[in-house]
Amino acid sequence: MEPNDRLTTPPSDADDGTGPERTCILTRACRPKDELIRLALGPDGQIAPDVRARAPGRGAWIGVGRMALDEALAKGKLKGALARAFKGVPLIITDDLGERIESALRAQALDRLGLEAKGGTLLTGAERIEQAARSGKVHLLIHAADAGEDGNRALDQAWRVGGGPPRGLLFPEPRTILSMALGRENVVHIALTDAAAARRVAHAIARWQAFIDPDAGLSGADAARLGSNDDTDEGNS
């Protein structure tokens, strides 16, 4: 196990809602690994995004957004940090690494929505969502980026009546993308009716948003709280 892959908290701390931590090779800050992004070292020295943290072999972790990563790449700081992490290994780091990470995080979030739709834990349609929200059955409410303010406000209010947070989560993409991800027509709003499914979706979206805009993105803990209407909480290996 590489130094930057090691646990930085005792195994017993994994039950406190944060899970094991990793160290960002750029900032040296320790954070729950579910909030970080793993970079995998390929057999040819190629550095590739491993957003699911499942690729075999050696890995390094980053906890910065797209803008900071692109700057570190351009100034050679990322190459230096990776060289220290993977001592003695010739590295190949492409200029589009940030774009590839963003695309992978986007795909992961959309795939997760598609899986939950197939699993029957996801509702669409304003009337169905409003009824479920008022009944306290909605654990996560999502609005498309181009959803109307009036529609968002009405469903947010219904969610509050049912015991949910003040407002739903604004998805980074418009309804056309949500519709394609779910294989349904005109998906403007989405509700997750299962707590575990809501946490999975909230977490995937939060990681993506945090990389696009760290100031606006959610932490893993925030995502877990948002993905529930009863204060229950929820990574990858």
- Say which CATH number the domain at 83 has: 3.30.1230.10
Do 87 and 129 fall within a single domain? no
Do 130 and 221 fall within a single domain? yes
Do 140 and 216 fall within a single domain? yes
Number of folded domains that form the chain: 2
pLDDT of residue 216: 61
pLDDT of residue 234: 33
Rounded mean pLDDT of 153-164?
Answer: 96
CA–CA distance, 79 with 190 (Å, rounded to integer): 40
Q: Is residue 161 included in any domain, yes or no?
A: yes
Q: Quick one: how far is CA 118 from the chain centroid? A: 20
Do 30 and 91 fall within a single domain? yes
Do 148 and 61 fall within a single domain? no
pLDDT of residue 116: 96
- Quickly state the pLDDT bin for 219 (edges 50, 70, 90): very low
Do the beta carbons of residue 117 and residue 178 sit within 8 Å? no
Q: Is residue 153 included in any domain, yes or no?
A: yes
**In the predicted structure, residue 176 carries a pLDDT above the cut 90:** yes
Which residue's entry shows tokens 């949500």?
Answer: 178
Do 68 and 114 fall within a single domain? no
Q: Is residue 162 included in any domain, yes or no?
A: yes
Please give the backbone phi and psi of residue 220, each rounded to the nearest 5 degrees, phi first. -60, -40
Q: Which of 83, 99, 115 is the last residue of a domain?
A: 99
Q: Quick one: how far is CA 27 from the chain centroid? A: 20
Q: Is residue 231 included in any domain, yes or no?
A: no
Do 15 and 31 fall within a single domain? yes
Rounded mean pLDDT of 103-107?
Answer: 97
Which residue's entry shows tokens 């220290």?
Answer: 84
Q: Is residue 234 included in any domain, yes or no?
A: no
Task: Kindly report, residue by residue over 162-175, the tens digit of the pLDDT.
Answer: 999 999 999 999 99
Do 191 and 127 fall within a single domain? yes
Do 173 and 112 fall within a single domain? yes
Q: Is residue 232 included in any domain, yes or no?
A: no
Q: Is residue 41 included in any domain, yes or no?
A: yes
CA distances to 32, 44, 66, 78, 220 from 169, rounded to whole Å, are 22, 40, 21, 32, 14
Q: Which of 72, 99, 126 is the last residue of a domain?
A: 99
- Quickly state the pLDDT bin for 88 (edges 50, 70, 90): confident
Q: Which of 64, 99, 134 is the last residue of a domain?
A: 99
Task: Kindly report, residue by residue over 179-218, the tens digit of the pLDDT.
Answer: 999 999 999 999 999 999 999 999 999 999 999 987 765 5
Task: Kindly report, residue by residue over 25-60, the tens digit of the pLDDT.
Answer: 999 999 999 999 999 999 999 999 999 999 999 999
Q: Is residue 69 included in any domain, yes or no?
A: yes
Do 167 and 127 fall within a single domain? yes
Which CATH number does the domain housing residue 121 bear? 3.30.1330.30
Rounded mean pLDDT of 98-120?
Answer: 96
Q: Residue 114 belongs to what domain range? A: 106-226
Do the beta carbons of residue 8 and residue 31 sit within 8 Å? no
pTM: 0.83
